[in-house]
Structure 1
Amino acid sequence: MGIKHTQLSLAIAALGLAGSFWSGFLWAQDTVPTADRSDDKVTRLEGVIVVGSRRYDRGSDTDTAVPVDIVPMTKAADQGASFDLAQTLEYTTPSFTSVRQTGADNADSVDSAALRGLGSDQTLVLVNGKRLHSTSLVNLFGARNRGMTGTDLNTIPMLAIGHVEVLRDGAAAQYGSDAIAGVLNISLKRSQGCEAVAGYGQYSRGDGKNYIASGYCGFGVGDDGIVALTAEYLDRGRSNRTTERDPLRIIGDTAVKNGTFYMNGDIPFGDTAHFYFNGGIQNRDASSAAFARGGLGSDDIPSRNSAAMYPDGFVPFIDPYVQDRHVTGGIWWRWNDWRIDASQTFGYNKLIDTIRHTLNASIANYDLMHGGQGISPDHFNAGGFSFGQATTNLDFSRYFDDWFAGTNVAFGSEFRHENYQIHAGESGSWIDADGPGGGNAGSQGFPGFQPVDATDKNRNSWALYGDFEVNWTDRFMTDQALRYENYSDFGSTLIGKLAGAFRVTDTFLLRGSLSTGFRAPSLQQRYFSSTFTDFISGEPIDVVLAPNGGTVANAAGIPKLTEEKSRSGTLGFTWKPNDAISVTLDGYRIDIDDRIVLSGYFGTDDPNIGAILEGLGVGSAQFFVNSVDTRTQGLDLTVNHSMDLGAGHLDSFLAFNHTTTEVKRVHTPPSLVGREDSLLGERDRLFIEGGAPRSKAILGFDYTLGAWEADLKIIYFGPMTLGTFSGPPVPNQHYADKTSADLSITYNFNDNMKLTVGGQNILDKFPTRQNPDETDNGFMYESVQFGLNGAAWFARFAYKF
């Protein structure tokens, strides 16, 4: 199976339309201005690619054929209010979305990130130009990224990062699967010297205490080499915004402790070769609160509680232990003017859950029935999952300055091996000790993975690509790319891309692109299997998420997963009339066919699988299915200005994104005709269309006066609409637009030491209140827009030595 011939023809035919499209490169001053330009200046280094182009010999003023934002991280790591990368980008890049979830099980502990209103698994993440592995987690709950995997940006310390390149364009033809919405390239720091940062913050209500301590050292090696090491410890405290309506609930930030070590190196040997490496290790201890179980007088005894253990009710805690590993090693060298790059990347992510302050109600009830007090163990190893990825790349690139006005030729290959495993929990975490009709099986909060869930699956893929960047004249260039990929589990695909740039004047540049793309179904989506408790309109129900291709999915008529296919285009301009001001504007459209979604609920009344579900002792089933065609359209605008003001200097910027996603069609397999609402009901459709604000804008002012610096950001979050459990005639959940603000003051004691104090969400804004029985997290505030914790303050101290 592969992308339709009409889609490929579109990309090839677009070669004849090159004169209508254009592009340029958006440098740091075109996205996030900074007070200290020398610190945040992006240095172009041999072997570190600017995402979106495969030409390696660029100067700092070279244009590429697609819109790329370069977001410097030096100031954010020293002075920023956010202590992790995902939240930093959330408040600096309007096209980027990452909202901390709460009441969403393991999704509370892993922040997924996405671009341009699409899903976290439709954004590719690179580190120094090489693919970074995704997490092993599949998001099952929460307002964002349901049914998707993603990449955890918070496994990389901000102090280790030089800048982040945000490619706002479909790039699967250049980089392969997952790059439908765009690409994030994390460029690691490689400066010499040492620095340290310590920070503290908390919410204005006194909880959510955050501590961070980071250290970085870069050592010169040889004439042009570097070895850089970064260590970080982060302790994020739990917050709680519960009310008297449900005093047992704990609703807010998950408690997280991260220990991270990262390295980055480039060591020359001989006259024309370099050995390079980078990688990191992170161990994460987290703790999220599940829904509360009632005590005496509630319906939860004996089904979900024991009077002998928790007579007043209890809140189970889901405590994942996450291990994340990443390493890349490679060699690049020059041969007859060709630059050859051979590399190997390994990535691994493992999450194992401990469920504590809990019980297995069936064990407690069995104990009571046999003369005991009604006691169960209060903690269990519930098992978990892991994902490993090994990627081998061989790339060739050469610039021919005598072909037209200059031509870059690049081609190469990639081989990738992936492994996904589900690890069963201890028997007490899933066993049904007293049989049907008594206490519910498994650990409350999150039942453990059963032996029948355990899996160990592999797949391979290989790819060939070609990329030709042609400067036809000094003012007009095009970039053409083709890529062929073959996957062992679903077949092959061929995709293409054309981008172009035309400099109308020295200050005005037109840019645009057309491309086809794809996203392979993740192994996590194909093979995830679990039985868990969901809360629907405040009522618990046991749900089985059945693996694709398994007995339950086949009986329900769910077809085998295949790739998502996309067609996308961008059109825009950059304008820099003088050194003080710059403007960029880019429109885009992304059509995705056969998008993979997590289905709605199939109940015991389903004619195909109702009897099977009753035999399993569960009330509903869900599946992953290619069932949706969507269209995403949007606009990105940035305006930047720099001027002297009084005795100081003012940098200002406005960044705006508007995105709409619409479900154009729902594919219903023949066996499911008439049950479209179970496949994708109104609530699930709105998670796709409205899971992120349609608009987001950031207006920033940075003023420096001697040793002092003031930074003010005003952030606008547009309205959102999410569905309800009850459905019509109950109205949907409408979230009004909100405007927040961040403010900080920095004092530079000298060139090497600074102190920053400030606040986030200083206006103490919250999302629109909702009926808790209709929200996904069972609380009056859903985790949307900017979260539900209110105002916070922070302090940072940075020292270079």
Structure 2
Amino acid sequence: MKNYLLIIFLFCTSSTFAQKLTVSGKVTDPKGDVLPGATVLEKGTNNGVSSDAAGTYTITCRADNPVLVISFVGFQNAEIPVNGQTTINVTLENATELQEVNIVGSRNLNRSVTDSPSPIDLIDIKDVTTKTGQLDLNQLLQFAAPSFNSNRQTGSDGADHVDPATLRGLGPDQTLVLINGKRRHQSALINLFGTRGRGNTGTDLNAIPAAAIERIEILRDGAAAQYGSDAIAGVINIVLKTSANEFTGNINYGAYSAKYRFDDQKFDGGNFNINGNYGFRIGKGGFLNLTADYNYRGHTQRANVATNVEELSRREFGDPQVQNTSFYANSKIPVSPNAHVYVFGGLNLRKGDAYAWTRFADSPRNIPSLYPNGFDPIITSDITDGSVAAGIRGKWKGWDVDLGSVFGSNTFHYGVRNTLNTSLGPQSPTSFDAGGFQLQQNVTGLHFSRLFQETLQGLNIAFGAEFRSENYQIFAGEEASYRNYDPTRPGGSQGFPGYQPGDVVNEGRTNLGIYFDTEADITKAFMIGAALRFENYSDFGSTLNGKISSRLKLGNNFTVRGTVSTGFRAPSLAQIYFNSTFTNFVEGQPVEVLLSRNESPVTRKLGIPKLKQETSRNASLGFTGRFGSGFSLTVDGYYVKIQDRVVLTGAFTADDPDIGADLQELNVGQAQFFTNAVTTSTRGVDIILANGSAVGRGRLNTTLAANFNKLTVDEVKTNARLAGKEDTYFDLRERKFVEASAPPSKINLTLDYGLDRWNFVVRAVRFGEITLADYDYQLNVYKPRVTTDFSVGYKIAKNVNLIVGGSNIFNVYPNRFNPTLTESGGAWDPVQMGTNGAYWYGKLNLRF
């Protein structure tokens, strides 16, 4: 890394171009407040400056006919031809006013991200995708936002195909995802094995192609009182592209250095992506923007890491093979001077192959005549994810009104190949349809918002209602995938037994939410806001939650902000109704387990209560400051206490002295279930430092972003029948999984230097130490690691850009442990830094 920093230093000492025309001016917002730290660039070059504390700037232009591009986070960019002028004052319009898409965290259409009382990350996807190696959305955010974490899974059944993701180390189902401000449906998958967020459902972000996205807004604050259930940890709002008469396309390819393989192959996990985006204008101010995206990701092989042959528990271990095909559209159709219709949505088709645990040749689950050397079952997925939103938005008697509906569906269909049903003997098929599940959601909402500019310094009132219906289904696989035809032998398809007719469910519920949200600028410096939301669920009842927020500007350069709120999360339909009989591996040995739905005969017999909502108390306090012309600092501390968290218990066995007889009476050998068992507290701080300045003939943007996070399990509650069995109810291994949802620290340092046609990026990410427990309940300590990325971009032509680079270029891996004792069966359990080593790539970006 020292060599890369030396390159940047050499550029710093380079001479500047000859001066041609000097332009000065001031940058302000629509209220007349100055914008310190606004970026002023000469279009088509890396020549730029930042406005100072008074909002003023001075730039020396080099082109014959220069055009200035002025930008500031949360505002619409302005392009101004110089035309010989030496003084140009600029007023930037709020991005939300022009795009009519709320910046998450506020329903005031006149409030920018810098004006918000809550911390918000604004991520320009075009900038991230053209300068880094990651292609799917989870991994892009994993390395761009310190409070966001996502793990690639292996040996985790369905989670191998749908990456779980978290904010601030909370559960995947405790973050609400919006698209263009509308609630996104979750995945039908519930995470069960070898994964963070065990027992949780979540949203499949990788079903949304990055090529369709303009920006992502991450609200790092509890927002259940504003947006409803699931927003305990925060909100991710994905804003789709609105461009017209412009084509953008990308061709990407990369592969991993194959450090751990049986053979001599040097690279694996090849990742190919091609996408295109184009927009059409419709009437005055309307558009239709279309995206097509195809991504193929190959297997990686990391099984050959054991210290001796006896420790090798799996012959195939690594990333699954995945093919993603996506089509997305975003449109705005004017119907009158004051109203327009919007329609957006997309379809994602995914096929995956993931390695299951090896059945060796001498295993009682093998048929030697079919597999003389044993076999490695492959779990296949066929996932269809689609959504469509439509509505009308406009002005009515001074109010901004939005009436719309969004429908989403996620279907996950399992298959198993390279396998057998042992109880069928040598006649067994070697592939099976194993069934699956589906989740559908429809949300219809009516929203009103209005800014009373003459009241105080501005009073915004918003209110509305949403009606949501959900349906969850489990469908059975073919008979041979689950049936036992010979009681002396294991039955069902090895690797993943199919869902049985007794597992089939078709359940639904409805929800009505009503909210009131107000923000008042008492003075130009002091703002206070309040939100209240009532929700009624057809299956568990009503809840009322509130939020108070405030922001105080201490001059033009320093702002203090804070919030307090309560929150809730309704148990998902999958947590209430999911049930299955499956094979789990404990210390390499197969064990048959019943995962019993809530309010089943097993849970009733054991006195497990009906699932209820999780509740939270959130608080945040922070400040933002600007120092000099281009340096900014943001610090936000937070506290989140969650009661009655839904978890998946450990397995209770039929030989238990207290409840074993009850399980035997129900013909159950082992049983697990979902229950509100845990209270947790999370404390942390987010720190972001950013600086942009001219260096030599180019421009250097430096960002240091860090998240420090600590989650503690405060209490484990059992019922009267299971009192004293807390170590099974929520044991050490489960506790460590929850605590390791985020590393205690993640620090990201990025240096981005542009010079004429060249661009150089160096990024170092430090992942803090995390601790997991193996099947012997020994602690596996994953020491801190630093991954280093480097890329070089060159503008071949005005509309063509080539980037080559590497992620984790020093081939850093986590600590290694005994594969027979880890949850995944490999030398590592999935951790945030990844387990594949160095990744090398090339990208070609086109824009016409």
Q: Work out the CA distance in 2 between the residues paired with 1:174 and 1:145.
A: 24
Alpha-carbon contact 1:144-1:692 (below 8 Å) kept: no
Q: 1:644: how far off?
A: 1.4
Alignment of 1:481-496 (within 5 A): 481-496=531-546
Aligned-partner residue type, residue 420 of structure 2: L
Alpha-carbon contact 1:555-1:609 (below 8 Å) kept: no
Alignment of 1:259-274 (within 5 A): 259-274=325-340
Aligned residue number for residue 585 of structure 1: 635
Alignment of 1:276-675 (within 5 A): 276-295=342-361, 298=362, 300-301=363-364, 304-364=365-425, 374-435=426-487, 438-607=488-657, 610-611=660-661, 613-614=663-664, 619-675=669-725
Q: 1:90: how far off?
A: 0.2
Q: Work out the CA distance in 2 between the residues paired with 1:137 and 1:785.
A: 21
Q: 1:78: how far off?
A: 3.2
Does 2:793 match 1:707?
no
Aligned residue number for residue 127 of structure 1: 179
Aligned residue number for residue 286 of structure 2: 225
User: Residue deviations 1:527-583, cap 9 Å, x none?
Assistant: 011111111122211111100111111112211100000001000000012331000
Q: Work out the CA distance in 2 between the residues paired with 1:530 and 1:416.
A: 27
Q: Work out the CA distance in 2 between the residues paired with 1:36 and 1:86.
A: 33
Does 2:150 match 1:98?
yes
Q: 1:771: how far off?
A: 2.0
Q: How many residues align?
A: 754
| Helix, strand or coil at the partner of 1:268 | strand
Pick from 721, 734, 737 the counterpart of residue 781 of structure 2. 734
User: Residue deviations 1:125-152, cap 9 Å, x none?
Assistant: 0000000000000000124111100001
Q: 1:750: how far off?
A: 2.5
Q: 1:395 to 1:36 in 2, by over 3 A?
A: farther
Aligned residue number for residue 6 of structure 2: none
Q: Which moved more, 1:600-609 or 1:501-510?
A: 600-609
Alpha-carbon contact 2:451-2:458 (below 8 Å) kept: yes
Aligned residue number for residue 790 of structure 2: 743
Aligned residue number for residue 368 of structure 1: none
Alpha-carbon contact 2:37-2:631 (below 8 Å) kept: no
Aligned-partner residue type, residue 482 of structure 1: L
Q: 1:611: how far off?
A: 4.5
Does 2:756 match 1:716?
no
RMSD: 1.9
Alpha-carbon contact 2:199-2:674 (below 8 Å) kept: yes
| Helix, strand or coil at the partner of 1:173 | helix
Unaligned runs of 5+ in 2: 1-34, 40-44, 49-68, 77-94, 259-266
Alpha-carbon contact 2:419-2:430 (below 8 Å) kept: yes
Does 2:100 match 1:47?
yes
Q: Work out the CA distance in 1 between the residues paired with 2:420 and 2:301.
A: 23
Pick from 794, 803, 819 the counterpart of residue 756 of structure 1. 803
| Helix, strand or coil at the partner of 1:287 | strand
Alignment of 1:194-233 (within 5 A): 194-205=247-258, 206-233=267-294
Q: 1:175 to 1:480 in 2, by over 3 A?
A: same
Pick from 231, 237, 250 the counterpart of residue 298 of structure 2. 237
Pick from 757, 782, 787 the counterpart of residue 829 of structure 2. 782
User: Residue deviations 1:160-191, cap 9 Å, x none?
Assistant: 10000000000000000000000000011111
| Helix, strand or coil at the partner of 1:89 | helix
| Helix, strand or coil at the partner of 2:268 | coil
Q: Which moved more, 1:623-632 or 1:771-780?
A: 771-780
Aligned residue number for residue 137 of structure 1: 189
Q: Work out the CA distance in 2 between the residues paired with 1:538 and 1:569.
A: 44
| Helix, strand or coil at the partner of 1:643 | strand
Q: Work out the CA distance in 2 between the residues paired with 1:581 and 1:318.
A: 50
Aligned-partner residue type, residue 150 of structure 1: G
Q: Which moved more, 1:717-726 or 1:601-610?
A: 601-610
Alpha-carbon contact 2:314-2:825 (below 8 Å) kept: no
| Helix, strand or coil at the partner of 2:634 | strand
Q: 1:620: how far off?
A: 1.8
Alpha-carbon contact 1:35-1:651 (below 8 Å) kept: no
Q: Work out the CA distance in 2 between the residues paired with 1:123 and 1:572.
A: 21
User: Residue deviations 1:72-91, cap 9 Å, x none?
Assistant: 00122334301111100000
Q: 1:551 to 1:576 in 2, by over 3 A?
A: same
User: Residue deviations 1:597-632, cap 9 Å, x none?
Assistant: 111111112356535655777642111100001000
Q: 1:236: how far off?
A: 0.4
| Helix, strand or coil at the partner of 1:91 | helix
Bigger CA radius of gyration: 2
Aligned residue number for residue 16 of structure 2: none
| Helix, strand or coil at the partner of 1:183 | strand
Aligned-partner residue type, residue 772 of structure 1: P
User: Residue deviations 1:478-503, cap 9 Å, x none?
Assistant: 11000000000000000000010000
Aligned residue number for residue 19 of structure 1: none
Aligned residue number for residue 156 of structure 1: 208
Q: Work out the CA distance in 2 between the residues paired with 1:35 and 1:458.
A: 55
Q: Work out the CA distance in 2 between the residues paired with 1:46 and 1:162.
A: 11
Q: Work out the CA distance in 2 between the residues paired with 1:161 and 1:703.
A: 24
Q: 1:249: how far off?
A: 2.0
Alpha-carbon contact 1:484-1:493 (below 8 Å) kept: yes
User: Residue deviations 1:754-797, cap 9 Å, x none?
Assistant: 00000011111111111223211011122102121111101110
Aligned residue number for residue 63 of structure 2: none
Q: 1:707 to 1:678 in 2, by over 3 A?
A: same
Q: Work out the CA distance in 2 between the residues paired with 1:691 and 1:272.
A: 46
Alpha-carbon contact 1:382-1:447 (below 8 Å) kept: yes
| Helix, strand or coil at the partner of 1:446 | coil
Alpha-carbon contact 1:68-1:167 (below 8 Å) kept: yes
TM-score normalised by structure 2 residue count: 0.87
Aligned residue number for residue 10 of structure 1: none
Q: Which moved more, 1:653-662 or 1:639-648?
A: 639-648
Alpha-carbon contact 1:601-1:678 (below 8 Å) kept: yes
Q: 1:409 to 1:61 in 2, by over 3 A?
A: same
Q: Work out the CA distance in 1 between the residues paired with 2:393 and 2:629.
A: 37
Q: 1:28: how far off?
A: 11
Aligned residue number for residue 315 of structure 2: 249
Unaligned runs of 5+ in 1: 1-24, 365-373
Alpha-carbon contact 1:499-1:513 (below 8 Å) kept: yes
Aligned-partner residue type, residue 371 of structure 2: Y
Q: Work out the CA distance in 1 between the residues paired with 2:532 and 2:580.
A: 39
Aligned residue number for residue 3 of structure 1: none
TM-score normalised by structure 1 residue count: 0.92
Alpha-carbon contact 1:40-1:74 (below 8 Å) kept: no
Q: Which moved more, 1:426-435 or 1:765-774?
A: 765-774
Q: 1:705: how far off?
A: 1.0
User: Identity over aligned residues, as a percent?
Assistant: 45
Alpha-carbon contact 1:217-1:229 (below 8 Å) kept: yes
Aligned residue number for residue 70 of structure 1: 122
Q: Work out the CA distance in 2 between the residues paired with 1:555 and 1:630.
A: 28
| Helix, strand or coil at the partner of 1:207 | strand
Q: Work out the CA distance in 2 between the residues paired with 1:535 and 1:631.
A: 31
Q: 1:648: how far off?
A: 1.4
Aligned residue number for residue 14 of structure 1: none
Q: Work out the CA distance in 2 between the residues paired with 1:27 and 1:555.
A: 64
User: Residue deviations 1:30-70, cap 9 Å, x none?
Assistant: xxxx9799699763134200000001234x57611211110
